[in-house]
With several copies, the nearest count.
Chain A
Amino acid sequence: MHTVTYLQAINEALREEMDRDERVFIMGEDVGWNLLGATGGLKDRFGTERVRNTPIAEAGFVGAGAGAAMVGMRPVVDMLIAPFVYPAFDQIVSIIAKSTYLYGGQAKMPIVLRAPMLYGAGNAAQHSDRPYPTFMTIPGLKLIAPASPYDAKGMLKAAIRDDDPVICFEDWTLTGLRNEIPDEDYVIELGKAAVKREGSDITIVALAGAVPHALAAGEQLAGEGISAEVIDLRSIVPLDRDTILASVEKTGRLVVADPAHIMGSVASEISAIVAQEGFWSLRAPIIRVATPHTHIPFSATLERPLYPTTEKIVNAAKRAMA
């Protein structure tokens, strides 16, 4: 075992997969320079062909990733910051998500897009999106959002080995986290949520940066005599409805914490699934703790209160228990 940060975990995943499989390569703006801290050392180890700096042309290089994947490469495309996927949106939706289907299985699309989410940092509306709900509406993509160094490494490795397109939403509010992780190769199957804390009174499903808050809330609730089961969703598509439904069957109550805007959120989708499939277990309203349907302002005074916090999750849980 050794201890790594979230970014080191990503770096290890990239390095190990590039060592293992020479078809794996990285491209994106300034990936060779380790601008954001996850690609350090890779250019020196693998060279500028496999750690390829691109022009600022997201549609072009994301689409080029798709073409390379179609002919047998396994690109990992670094989007630098999640909202920079938007200029490439058509390539992601029309080409990457649809080609396998459109050509009746002739095209494989083993491509990973890394989409670091930098919110809460005073970068304002154009730079602070957490756009996984936007992509949840697009069939053909797999979406993951690891919330710990351990998961970041294991899930990114699994994504790189998957034959389908995966967008890895990395939550950079978590870059301070450190985990012990195995020294040996490991992968985490996509599509499996993790029960992080067992409980019997209420289920809290959280994802991405909301997970530490949910865990803290579980802790705090325990102190007040409420036994919360905390589930880290980890994977958005496929969505592990079985784990969630089983938990709600046990607890009868559900809070979902999601750092994205509430409208069309993953929290809403989970609510809808449980309101349809788990209705008879429910003993209280399903409460979503998400970011309100407004843009992210620059001012820290304005920005800070918008996201899910431990306190908001605790309050929601108490309301559900009332």
Chain B
Amino acid sequence: MAITVSETDMLEMYRRMTRIRQFEETTQALLLKGELYGSFHTSSGQEASIVGSCMALRTDDYMVGTHRSHGHPIGKGAKIDRLLAELMGKETGINQGKGGSMHLSDFGVGSLGETSIVGSGLPVATGAALGSKMQGNDRVTLCFFGDGASSQGTFHESLNMASLWNLPVIYVCENNGFGELTPTHEAVSVPDIASRAAGYGMPGIVVDGQDVLAVYEVVSEAVRRARAGEGPTLVETKTFRFDNHSIGMPVETPGHAEMLVHWRGNRCPIDLFDRALKEFGCDEVTLREIDAQVADEVSAAVEFGRTSPEPPPEAAFTHLYTNPIRIDS
């Protein structure tokens, strides 16, 4: 490691990764029991990619995400109670029940919203970076998108503009090997998506997406460049999702089960980091305490969601505009 990470930061990484995993396992169970609904894409397995990226950011930096929306805001530091209430469609949800599972967000911690139209976040992130640059502040924007999303035209248009305009933006492609059920190599014509960066005149870096410190190091350097006015970077994290494309989807991802044995057994980002932390001298008790604290947090969030009110019927008509207009039905 070329950079050093404090123990506090490492434990915060572990905490956020664990928070994502427990959030996903709990909400997935609620979904299967019928307490939640909607299209539900979990981030389990991708925690290192998410948290390693987000921890390289400041709270006031911006982040834009995807349909696989749960992990990113948590990684960016959002509190989970309003996220969980959002999954329940409650008034206290972070989006007041209007966004749901594919659209978590928390503008308060720079999470500018997850967008479920694949590839649609890249121009938005590019524009947020343009905004910061014009405002003369030193915020950077990080954009998560999938291997599948990399085939959208918005990828090309965004990277070209970001490079031309030298924008403070980091594009993080979470390559989990599949876009829905289609393996990446059937959808992307080159082995590494990061190699496409050369065509835009920006650095493109492949990193082990299961190793949170490796991701953190690579993204930190990209953030440093962006903040210093040295322009955008494309990072590709090689990762794997532990669940099916979406929970409850009737069709299994072909080949996924076989691959999962290896990934869950040997490449679980939390197990790997747990081991690494111990090698760094962290004691078991500290980690298990974090696990327990997170478990309490998640239970409290579920309770918060359950006891929150449903939104009132008029809420269907609010926030359509910031300056409302009369809506006739």
Check A-B contact in the complex, CB < 8 A: yes
The interface of chain A, by Cβ under 8 A from chain B, is 25, 29-30, 33-35, 37, 49-50, 53-73, 75, 83-84, 86-87, 90-91, 94-95, 99-110, 121-127, 139-140, 142, 162-164, 191, 237-238, 241, 262, 290-295, 297-303, 305-306
**A190, chain B: closest CB distance, angstroms:** 8
Contact yes or no, B123 A63, CB < 8 A: yes
Residues of B within 8 A of A104 (CB): 93-99, 319
From A55, A67, A86, give the contact of B125 (CB < 8 A). Answer: A67
Residues of B within 8 A of A109 (CB): 322
Asked if B115 is at the interface (CB within 8 A of a chain A CB), the reply is yes
Asked if B6 is at the interface (CB within 8 A of a chain A CB), the reply is no
Per the CB 8 Å criterion, the residue count for chain B at the interface is 84
| Docked CA distance A124–B135 (Å) | 33
From B86, B89, B107, give the contact of A301 (CB < 8 A). Answer: B89
Contact yes or no, A102 B99, CB < 8 A: yes
Interface residues of B in 184-231 (CB under 8 A from A): 186-188
From A94, A292, A299, give the contact of B311 (CB < 8 A). Answer: A299
Contact yes or no, A29 B316, CB < 8 A: no
Most chain B C-beta atoms within 10 Å of own C-beta, residue among A124, A127, A305: A124
Known: A57-B160, A237-B325, A302-B313. A139 touches B320 (CB 8 A): yes
Asked if B130 is at the interface (CB within 8 A of a chain A CB), the reply is yes
Known: A56-B151, A70-B127, A71-B131. A101 touches B180 (CB 8 A): no
Residues of B within 8 A of A69 (CB): 127, 131
From B101, B323, B329, give the contact of A293 (CB < 8 A). Answer: B329
Contact yes or no, A238 B326, CB < 8 A: yes
From B98, B101, B115, B251, give the contact of A94 (CB < 8 A). Answer: B115
Asked if B59 is at the interface (CB within 8 A of a chain A CB), the reply is no
Asked if B128 is at the interface (CB within 8 A of a chain A CB), the reply is yes
Contact yes or no, A100 B123, CB < 8 A: no
**Which residue of chain A has its CB nearest to the CB of B158?**
A60
Residues of B within 8 A of A71 (CB): 62, 112, 127-128, 131-132, 135, 139
**B148, chain A: closest CB distance, angstroms:** 5
Contact yes or no, B127 A63, CB < 8 A: yes
Contact yes or no, B107 A106, CB < 8 A: yes
The interface of chain B, by Cβ under 8 A from chain A, is 37-39, 62, 64, 86, 89-90, 93-103, 105, 107, 112-113, 115-120, 122-132, 134-135, 139, 141, 148-149, 151-154, 156-158, 160-161, 164, 179-182, 186-188, 249-251, 254, 310-311, 313, 315-323, 325-329
Most chain A C-beta atoms within 10 Å of own C-beta, residue among B86, B180, B320: B320
Contact yes or no, A126 B98, CB < 8 A: no
Known: A103-B99, A123-B39. A56 touches B148 (CB 8 A): yes
21 contacts between A and B (CB under 8 A): A34-B251, A50-B134, A53-B182, A59-B123, A59-B153, A64-B124, A66-B124, A67-B123, A67-B126, A67-B128, A70-B131, A86-B117, A91-B154, A122-B38, A126-B117, A290-B329, A295-B98, A297-B311, A298-B38, A298-B98, A299-B93
Leading 10 A-B pairs by shortest Cβ distance: A63-B123, A67-B127, A60-B157, A298-B100, A299-B89, A64-B127, A292-B329, A104-B96, A299-B97, A55-B151
